[in-house]
A and B are shown apart, each in its own frame.
Chain A
Amino acid sequence: MLKQLIVLARLAITGFTALMSIGCASFLNSPVTSVTIDSNPQNASFVIEDHNGEVIHSGTTPEDVLLHNSKAMYQRAQYSVRYELADLPPQTTELNATLSPYYFGNLFFLYPGVFGFLVIDPFTGAIFDLPEFHSVDLNALSNNTLSNDTLRNDASALNPASDSITVAQGRVQ
């Protein structure tokens, strides 16, 4: 009887280990996302830079771009997208990945688990998600610029860390 219990216990451990060892997010999510880069108005040129500032893609809106959700294990992807269109001021926006809800399936479902949570999903990058649609209204910033023009003599309105610097650079160009 004891031996049978031991065998059953070993089988249970085997099964439990196996069930714990599959990454939930890796199966239900993808480590890359097709992101639609769009703008209003369209036909704006855009450049995507990664966290190191290296250009990884350039094109014209609208365009679908495949982007990695992570830059390394446990590190979400961070991109910046710079838009330029004719007379409108260029804009730079951040495109950052967020934790995928599928990742937490490792905790709540039976078959994924420790290995999936700690190793597999972080390894594949499927623990993060990028938005499938990323767009910017270039006219909106242009309107803001006009509004700011009325205040340009007010030094307190100029914040070096704000988008107004980007807009100003754009106007110089």
Chain B
Amino acid sequence: MTRQILTLLTLVLVVAFTTSCSLAPITPRVDAASVGKGVFKIENNVSPSSFSVIYGAGEKFDVGLDLELIMATAWGRYSFFNSPNGFSLAVNGGVFVGDADIKSNGYFSGLIASNQWSPKFRTTASVRYAELDYQFSPEYDDDYWFDWYDAVFFDNSEEGSANIQADLTLSFLVKPYIELALGAVCQHLPRVKDSTRRSEGCVPTIGFSYYRL
């Protein structure tokens, strides 16, 4: 048990220090299937740090609330191919607002596909497009230590006002009510024409999903 705790602690520490933030919500989606009508699910990402509550508003329609470090997102997901034990395909969309050292707000829509390969393993791929308005606090500029951290800071707000993100996640059922999600999320800012300043990059993702048995 002690070894498990130390392993988990080490993993969390390592990943926590690779966490990034974005002008648009960066929380990866880990399933295209609905959680089920009337069912709650909690998703808790360590990287990027976020906390989500998901509720099955209908048989194929879920609503969720994501809280990231600097941003809150309300979203909905409709699973038009809804097969929790197989392949699922969903569209999602939402609105977000961030009001910390970076002010940002906008909306996004996207597509999610997932396949449950076995009762304990699932892969999920997602792509989404966000339109947003943002404003940096004056003390920030591009001079940061880490490229991944530098990636989202721009002088021209128009350049960063479109954001394309894609994520790929591998989900492992580690307990009957807990899933471990590992993957990566990448972002691209298509309106940035200067390749030297183009913000493209990926960050690792790690999170946990909690179900109520």
Residues of A whose CB lies within 8 Å of any CB of B are 2-4, 6-7, 11, 13-15, 17-19, 21-23, 26-28, 30-32, 68, 110-111, 115, 119-120, 123-125
Q: Report how far A115 CA is from B49 CA in the complex, Å.
A: 12
Residues of B within 8 A of A15 (CB): 13, 16-17, 19
Please tell me which one of the listed residues A14, A18, A31 contacts residue B177 in the complex, with CB atoms under 8 A apart: A31
Quote the shortest CB–CB distance from B152 to chain A (angstroms). 12
Q: Report how far A45 CA is from B136 CA in the complex, Å.
A: 70
> Contact flags (1/0) for B139-165 with A, using CB distance below 8 Å?
110011110010000000000000000
Q: Report how far A3 CA is from B140 CA in the complex, Å.
A: 8
Residues of B within 8 A of A110 (CB): 9
Contacting pair A13 B69 (CB below 8 A): yes
Contacting pair A120 B42 (CB below 8 A): yes
Residues of B within 8 A of A125 (CB): 212-213
Q: Report how far A23 CA is from B139 CA in the complex, Å.
A: 36
Quote the shortest CB–CB distance from B133 to chain A (angstroms). 22
Number of interface residues of B (CB under 8 A): 33
Residues of B whose CB lies within 8 Å of any CB of A are 1, 5, 8-9, 12-13, 15-17, 19, 40, 42, 44, 46-47, 49, 51, 69, 139-140, 143-146, 149, 175, 177-178, 208, 210-213
Which residue in chain B gives the minimum CB-CB distance to A110? B9
Q: Report how far A14 CA is from B69 CA in the complex, Å.
A: 7
Contacting pair B210 A124 (CB below 8 A): yes
Please tell me which one of the listed residues A17, A30, A111, A123 contacts residue B210 in the complex, with CB atoms under 8 A apart: A123
Q: Report how far A123 CA is from B19 CA in the complex, Å.
A: 26
Contacting pair A120 B212 (CB below 8 A): no
Contacting pair B213 A32 (CB below 8 A): yes
Q: Report how far A3 CA is from B145 CA in the complex, Å.
A: 9
Quote the shortest CB–CB distance from B185 to chain A (angstroms). 15
Residues of B within 8 A of A115 (CB): 44, 51
Additional A-B contacts beyond A3-B139, A22-B44, A23-B210 (20; CB < 8 A): A3-B143, A7-B145, A7-B146, A11-B19, A14-B17, A14-B49, A15-B17, A18-B49, A19-B16, A21-B44, A21-B49, A21-B51, A22-B46, A27-B175, A27-B178, A31-B177, A32-B213, A115-B44, A120-B210, A123-B210
Q: Report how far A166 CA is from B202 CA in the complex, Å.
A: 67
Contacting pair A22 B12 (CB below 8 A): yes
Quote the shortest CB–CB distance from A121 to chain B (angstroms). 9
Residues of B within 8 A of A111 (CB): 8-9, 12
Which residue in chain B gives the minimum CB-CB distance to A6? B139
Quote the shortest CB–CB distance from B130 to chain A (angstroms). 21
Q: Report how far A115 CA is from B46 CA in the complex, Å.
A: 12
Q: Report how far A171 CA is from B15 CA in the complex, Å.
A: 65
Please tell me which one of the listed residues B44, B46, B145 contacts residue A120 in the complex, with CB atoms under 8 A apart: B44
Q: Report how far A42 CA is from B212 CA in the complex, Å.
A: 34
Quote the shortest CB–CB distance from B8 to chain A (angstroms). 7
Q: Report how far A166 CA is from B13 CA in the complex, Å.
A: 57
Q: Identify 6 residue pairs between A and B in the complex whose beta-carbon atoms are under 8 Å apart, listed by A's number.
A: A11-B17, A18-B47, A19-B12, A28-B1, A120-B44, A123-B212
Q: Report how far A17 CA is from B13 CA in the complex, Å.
A: 11
Q: Report how far A19 CA is from B12 CA in the complex, Å.
A: 7
Residues of A within 8 A of B44 (CB): 21-22, 115, 120
Residues of A within 8 A of B140 (CB): 3
Q: Report how far A23 CA is from B212 CA in the complex, Å.
A: 13
Residues of A within 8 A of B149 (CB): 7
Query: Lowest 8 A-B CB distances belong to which pairs?
Result: A15-B16, A18-B16, A18-B46, A14-B19, A17-B49, A21-B44, A18-B49, A111-B9
